[in-house]
Structure 1
Amino acid sequence: MDDEFAKLIRRINPPRVVIDNDSCEDATVIQVDRINKHGILLEVVQVLTDLNLVIRKAYISSDGGWFMDVFNVVDCEGKKITDGELISYIQKKLESDDGFVPSLKGMVGLVPSEEHTSIELAGTDRPGLLSEVCAVLANLDCNVVNAEIWTHNARAAAVVNVTDNTTGCAIKDPKRLALIKELLCNVLKGNNDLKTAKMSLSPPGVTHRERRLHQIMFDDRDYEKIEKSEGGRVQNKSCKPHVIVSDCTEKHYTVITMRSKDRPKLLFDIVCTLTDMQYVIFHGRDDFQL
């Protein structure tokens, strides 16, 4: 009954996206209005990020079961979006009522399929790690189709898509996969490492690769500070972002204020982190300047 009622509400209030090139002098304004659901902000930001759009400003509001966000965006050259096909694609994507499926560009190498095997890795970071992982896979007669690796706080996470070098198909033999896991975990295991190196296959379903890497790093607790390296030197001495966490008791909110140097996909990374921590963003204002 609840599902049918929710469907009725969605039919009465369909998603609405307005893309405006007139109201702002130096950016395209994208306004998204739709029924709120958990993770909707991340999905919207993910669509814009996958298209290599830069979010200059964002106004976020999701009170009362309704989601309304306004984004000021430009392309990678700092110009407004003028391509009619791209504007139509963004509007269609954000107004989709079936959930957002990543674009073909964002899906390359992300989905477990008959064509390749998606391997997820987590372990200790060090120079040459990716080269060693690829060397192990090559020795096991695996062809690396594509790979992405992230590192932070002496930890590393990777999603590597491989095929059998002979057949060009996905690797499904349990014994061979077990051997790949054993050897890769040996490579990922660092000296005096208290954490266990991990190798697993990507879970079934459509998974955005950068989203998955966020989840792997979070599960690996990469946010825990590493005070000293193996050589005894203190790490993390560089300038850090300024973050203030305070309570707004009268509205039952926690207010997070962040200030840092801007970089590509910053808002996507922030929203991913808060979503992984099971927080819901009700209101927000973001200003990004180079």
Structure 2
Amino acid sequence: MEDEFSKLIRRMNPPRVVIDNDICEHATVILVDGVNGHGLLLEIIQVLNYLDLLITKAYISSDGGYLMDVFYVTETDGKKITDKGTINYLQSTLETKASFVNSMRSSVGVTPSKEHTSIELTGADRPGLLSEVSAVLTDLSCNVVNAVLWTHNARAAAVLHVTDQSSGYAIEDPERLSKMKELICNVLRGSNDFRTPHMSISSNEMMHRERRLHQMLFADRDFERPESPNHKSSRRPLVTVMDCSDRDYTAVTIRYPDRPKLMFDIVCSLTDMQYEVYHGTVITCSTEAYQEYYIKHIDGFPISSEAERQRVIVCLEAAIERRASEC
């Protein structure tokens, strides 16, 4: 009944998407307002990332069950969006996303496919890991169509798309898939790794790969830094988490050198940790990005303990650092 009532509310309050090239001299302004839902902000940002648009500024507001989000975006060359096809795609896709909050396994630009088999794996990182996995797949007469691998804090996660060498399509033979899983898990199993490696195989991909990699490394607890005196990292993100008792929120601020998809990585982590963003501001300049979010847990309460505060800090740091290893 609650689900049907939510659908009724959305039908009575259709979303509004405005794309304007006149308001700002340097960027295209995109305004989205409508009924809010958990994960909707992430879905909207993911549409922008799918088109390789850069978010230079953003203002987020979603109190009272409704959202009004404003994004200042440019093409990768720093210019406004002028292509009518791109503008029409943005208009229709954002309206669809704002009308129906999809399940957390769905994503823009991703559809179920029988053209390839999707392999997801996590385990201990080491030199040559991807080569060893590829060698196993070659021995099993599989072609690697594409692969994305992230490594962070001595952990590795990868999503690979493979096809049968003879047919060129997805691999569906249960015995062959079972053998593939057994051999790759043996490769993933490190001699000093106390964590069990994980692998799943599917011919029915249903999630954007970068979103999935974030989830896989988060589940693998890559935010736990190795206790090694030789472990060094590049410039750490400056993440602060503060009480905002007068407004009953938790304030999260991030400072980090600006790069594409930074906002996506942060909002993805907050969403997967079951937090809602009620207000937010994103400002970028030539050297640094500043992002500020006012959040609550989906149960409606702000962060209530020092342990939870520290967990949010280390998880956001990990989400920002992961992309540096993308290949």
Taking structure 2 as the reference length, the TM-score comes to 0.81
Pair 121,205 (structure 1): closer, same or farther in 2 beyond 3 Å: closer
What residue is the counterpart of 1:5 in the other structure? 5
Please state if 1:283 is matched with 2:283.
no
Pair 203,285 (structure 1): closer, same or farther in 2 beyond 3 Å: farther
- Deviation track 1:117-136 (CA, whole Å, cap 9, x = no partner) reads 11101011122221221111
Q: CA deviation at 1:202?
A: 4.2
Amino acid at match of 1:169: Y
Q: CA deviation at 1:164?
A: 1.5
Q: CA deviation at 1:113?
A: 3.1
Determine if contact 1:227/1:236 at 8 Å carries over to the other structure.
no
Determine if contact 2:118/2:205 at 8 Å carries over to the other structure.
no
Three-state SS of the structure 1 residue aligned to 2:190 is coil
- Deviation track 1:22-62 (CA, whole Å, cap 9, x = no partner) reads 11111111010010011000000000000000000110111
Taking structure 1 as the reference length, the TM-score comes to 0.91
Alignment of 1:2-41 (within 5 A): 2-41=2-41
Task: Return 126-135 or 148-157, whichever deviates more.
Answer: 126-135
Determine if contact 2:114/2:169 at 8 Å carries over to the other structure.
yes
What residue is the counterpart of 1:154 in the other structure? 154
- Counterpart Cα distance in 2 of 1:78 and 1:102: 26
Three-state SS of the structure 2 residue aligned to 1:212 is helix
Determine if contact 2:46/2:264 at 8 Å carries over to the other structure.
yes
What residue is the counterpart of 2:56 in the other structure? 56
Q: Which of 267, 272, 275 pairs up with 2:268?
A: 272
- Counterpart Cα distance in 2 of 1:183 and 1:262: 40
Amino acid at match of 1:214: H
What residue is the counterpart of 2:74 in the other structure? 74
Pair 85,113 (structure 1): closer, same or farther in 2 beyond 3 Å: closer
Please state if 1:251 is matched with 2:247.
yes
Three-state SS of the structure 1 residue aligned to 2:46 is helix
Amino acid at match of 1:21: N
Determine if contact 1:112/1:118 at 8 Å carries over to the other structure.
no
Pair 112,189 (structure 1): closer, same or farther in 2 beyond 3 Å: farther
Determine if contact 2:120/2:160 at 8 Å carries over to the other structure.
yes
What residue is the counterpart of 1:178 in the other structure? 178
- Deviation track 1:130-185 (CA, whole Å, cap 9, x = no partner) reads 12211110011111121111111111111111121122232222222222112111
Structure 1 residue ranges without an equivalent (≥5): none
Q: CA deviation at 1:99?
A: 4.5
Amino acid at match of 2:169: C
Task: Return 219-228 or 49-58, whichever deviates more.
Answer: 219-228
Pair 203,161 (structure 1): closer, same or farther in 2 beyond 3 Å: closer
% identical aligned pairs: 60
- Counterpart Cα distance in 2 of 1:203 and 1:257: 39
Amino acid at match of 2:271: T
- Counterpart Cα distance in 2 of 1:153 and 1:22: 45
Q: CA deviation at 1:11?
A: 2.4
Determine if contact 2:39/2:101 at 8 Å carries over to the other structure.
no
Determine if contact 2:123/2:198 at 8 Å carries over to the other structure.
yes
Over the aligned positions, Cα root-mean-square deviation in angstroms equals 1.8
Q: CA deviation at 1:251?
A: 2.1
- Counterpart Cα distance in 1 of 2:274 and 2:3: 23
